[in-house]
């Protein structure tokens, strides 16, 4: 049986890693066998899924160990979630995107079968969708792509580029699951997210309001589901997990051309009425 696979993309600082880890936790709560793969040079995606320590990155181990084995790069986290971190080269040396490509090659060489899991969650940096960071899409590892956005111009710019990549790799079987509105810095641009979804032919999977408990959970190395399981944010993540599992065959997105995107950003925002 082929694992259901979801890649969470987004601009750095969009909350994609926080959401990806929480999603893995939500899937595990459903009794699913989960593989969580961090595709970010920082190699910290799995931190909330571990009680202590951190996962040694595949690239880090490959550069320092002659005889690499699966047990050195696969770590069992909370709820039985298996965690892997791609990592990357030292700052200023090499290509981080190539590190992701090499990670998939090494996992295959080590005999790690993605099919042995029910769900695979990829946490992927989306500031630049170069060949390396597009590997989960280009090589068909991820069936569905969800994009975290906050509504700011740079967040939507990155999202629009990610949508271009999804459209390009649609022929590989990659599908856009939709957008995740994550308003972790406030809700000043909240109205832009549903408008952007409509303009690009996709939908908003879930909207997650600002919640100070998320930061507290991260400080305690926990996902929001484990820190405040009955809170509004945890409920939103569970809805997101449910919607992702119910996905079928969404149509390809329609990313905006440069001029259309600029016009979109220039459109006046709706002002929220305040009670008197």
Q: What is the pLDDT of residues 7-61, one digit of tens each?
A: 999 988 889 999 999 999 999 999 999 999 998 888 899 999 998 888 888 877 7
Active-site annotation holds for 16 = yes
Measured CA to CA, the distance from residue 190 to residue 50 in angstroms comes to 32
- 276 falls in which pLDDT band (50, 70, 90)? very low
Of all residues in the chain, the percent with pLDDT exceeding 90 is 60
Say whether pLDDT at 1 is over 60: no
What tokens appear for 117 in the block? Answer: 């899991």
Please state, as a whole number, how many other Cβ atoms lie within 10 Å of the Cβ of residue 154: 13
Active-site annotation holds for 216 = no
* DSSP code for 6: E
The answer to whether the beta carbons of residues 205 and 147 sit under 8 Å apart is: no
> Please, what are the domains in the chain?
4-266 (3.40.50.300)
Active-site annotation holds for 254 = no
| Catalytic-labelled residue, pool 29, 42, 44, 191 | 42
> Pick from 59, 49, 56: which is nearest to 72 by CA?
56
| Catalytic-labelled residue, pool 16, 40, 211, 226 | 16
> Pick from 2, 36, 1, 43: which is nearest to 20 by CA?
36
The answer to whether the beta carbons of residues 233 and 21 sit under 8 Å apart is: no
Residue pLDDT, tens place only, 216-261: 999 999 999 999 999 999 999 999 999 999 999 999 999 999 999 9
Measured CA to CA, the distance from residue 58 to residue 85 in angstroms comes to 6
Cα diameter, the chain: 69
What tokens appear for 189 in the block? Answer: 């641009």
Beta bridge partners, 145, equal 7, 176
| Catalytic-labelled residue, pool 11, 118, 123, 211 | 11
| Catalytic-labelled residue, pool 29, 44, 127, 191 | 127
């Amino acid at each position: 049986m082929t694992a259901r696979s979801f890649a969470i993309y987004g601009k750095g600082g969009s909350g994609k890693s926080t959401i990806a880890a929480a999603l893995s936790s939500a899937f595990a709560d459903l009794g699913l066998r989960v593989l969580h793969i961090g595709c970010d040079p920082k190699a910290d995606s799995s931190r909330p899924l571990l009680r202590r320590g951190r996962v040694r990155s595949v690239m880090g181990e490959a550069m320092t160990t002659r005889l690499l084995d699966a047990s050195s790069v696969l770590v069992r986290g909370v709820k039985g979630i298996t965690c892997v971190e791609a990592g990357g080269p030292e700052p200023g040396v090499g290509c981080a995107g190539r590190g992701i490509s090499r990670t998939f090659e090494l996992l295959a060489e080590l005999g790690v079968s993605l099919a042995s899991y029910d769900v695979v969650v990829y946490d992927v940096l989306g500031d630049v969708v170069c060949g390396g960071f597009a590997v989960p899409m280009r090589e068909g590892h991820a069936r569905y792509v969800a994009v975290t956005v906050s509504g700011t111009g740079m967040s939507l710019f990155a999202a629009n580029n990610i949508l271009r990549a999804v459209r390009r790799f649609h022929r590989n079987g990659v599908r856009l699951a939709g957008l995740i509105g994550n308003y972790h810095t406030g809700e000043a641009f909240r109205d832009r997210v549903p408008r952007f979804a409509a303009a690009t032919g996709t939908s908003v999977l879930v909207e997650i309001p600002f919640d100070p408990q998320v930061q507290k959970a991260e400080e305690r190395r926990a996902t929001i589901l484990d820190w405040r399981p009955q809170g509004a944010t945890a409920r939103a993540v569970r809805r997101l997990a449910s919607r992702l599992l119910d996905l079928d065959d969404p149509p390809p997105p329609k990313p905006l051309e440069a001029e259309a995107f600029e016009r979109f950003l220039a459109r006046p925002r709706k002002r929220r009425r305040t009670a008197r």
